[in-house]
Amino acid sequence: MSQTAIPLEFERYLQNQISVDNAPDMNEMIFAHIPGLDPSQPINRENGLPDVSLWVHQQDIDQVGKLGDNVLAYSVVIPSTVAEFTFNAIYLRDKNVPNSCGMVVHKAEETKENGMASTKSLVQAYDGAAQIAGIIVDASTWQIDYQARLKGIEEDHRLACLDSYGHTAFVDGFDVTQQADPNKYEVKPGVVYVGGLRGVLTGEMLQTIIAKPNGLYVDVVRQGTALSVWENKVTIAVSETELTDYVDGNGDKHYVAKLAGINADGSVVDWRVGTHDEKLMQSMVGMVVPFHVEGEKKGWLDGKGGEVSRIVDKMLWEYALETGLVVSQAIKDADPMTHAMKFGDGDGGTTFTLPNHHLGHFGRGTPSGAIHGATQNDAIRNITGSVSVGDRGKQLAAFIPSTSIGALFAIEEEFNTLPTSTESSVVNRGANVRFDASKIVPTADENRPYTANLSIKIHRGWM
């Protein structure tokens, strides 16, 4: 981004020139390097030329032409023999008249390279400029800044790739595998788009990683000079903290993508994002889904309460915190059934534990009056039954059941009474009343509805 302005001192200079019948004469272009300059900020029109100590090059105007009645173009061709210099500001002036600055441009830093010829043009606009300055020549191709044009074309191409691939898309390769030496990790050659730049890793790369857990990242930057071939350079960075896009000390923009996570035990977790929509993957973080596949599934973790890294699964940990369902690991371990649907805080620093969907719980939408994320104790609907009894005669010693309904039933039994001195022994009948729910419903050693036993997994937010 750049800013341009015509200083107030040019207006005074123009009036003075006209008053003495002289045309304005912008005859010199000055290049300066101003420390801390922010080219996005408006230029103060009260200011003119900077201090001479900030000038890095000055040169007489080579060409002046008109771009219509009200616009003049001033150009210089800086010879290849001029030594290298870096600038971020350009000025027009009449070198024969003090306080005659006619134009100021603030821009991003640029370097005129050794051995490079460079053309720079400034366009100054004010009412009647061509007539007042006496310029009748039309500006031609000499006012074009080809370097700026080429950079604009490259940026358009980068943005087009960004629209197509998103910030990160691994097209091929970049597999990470642990070697026989547990501190060595190999990265395979591959192709990736990061920030719209196409990065190619042409050969295998070996990384040494001692500290674990840790992370691997792909860093892509476009670099070159005016006299060299520009190319996208790919490096593999190792960092225990998450890396993101950044600008280096030379002003080059680096685009960074997550490649792989290294767990505390040295195992590798694939962080690569394919050509699918990265935002879609991230929106799936925390999703719980049943799978027919019992084993490992890319992008998913078994929902069995296992311990994972807060660094490797940063998105899932952030999701856990957002849910408000994180409890201390001691509380979760003390009563796993009650806290089955909650995350544990792991070791309190680098790990956390997942909910456990394999303890026999049945999930449902939280009903009114229930606590979200809490476990409700098991229960069944009430089972009832009844037994009717009646007197079968005075010789009976007990009431005998006549009918039974539901889970209650009676078994009629005989028993003898001891004889008295005047009576012989008598056979009597009685009943035992029993309860058996299996007469009404299927029974087992647990309460459950019809059940499909599958593998419950939780999404990590990346593949």
Q: Are strands 343-344 and 326-327 parallel, antiparallel or unpaired?
A: parallel
Q: What is the pTM of this model?
A: 0.42
Rounded CA-CA distance 355/196 in Å is: 38
The token duo for 186 is 């190999």
Rounded CA-CA distance 207/108 in Å is: 36
How far is CA 332 from its chain centroid? 30
Rounded CA-CA distance 445/339 in Å is: 22
| Residue 251, pLDDT score | 85
Rounded CA-CA distance 184/205 in Å is: 10
Look-up: residue for tokens 């694939």? 270
Residues of the chain with pLDDT under 50: 141-144, 227, 392-398
Closest to 457 measured CA to CA, from 284, 297, 263, 270: 297
What integer best gives the mean pLDDT of the chain? 85
The token duo for 204 is 């295998």
pLDDT in tens, 197-249: 999 999 999 999 999 999 999 999 998 765 467 899 999 999 999 999 999 98
| Residue 143, pLDDT score | 46
Rounded CA-CA distance 141/124 in Å is: 17
- Number of Cβ within a 10 Å radius of residue 312: 24
Rounded CA-CA distance 216/243 in Å is: 9
Say which DSSP state 48 is in: -
| Residue 398, pLDDT score | 47
Rounded CA-CA distance 199/169 in Å is: 10
| Residue 459, pLDDT score | 94
Rounded CA-CA distance 114/388 in Å is: 112
The token duo for 284 is 């799936």
Q: Cβ(165)–Cβ(193) under 8 Å?
A: yes
- Number of Cβ within a 10 Å radius of residue 254: 21
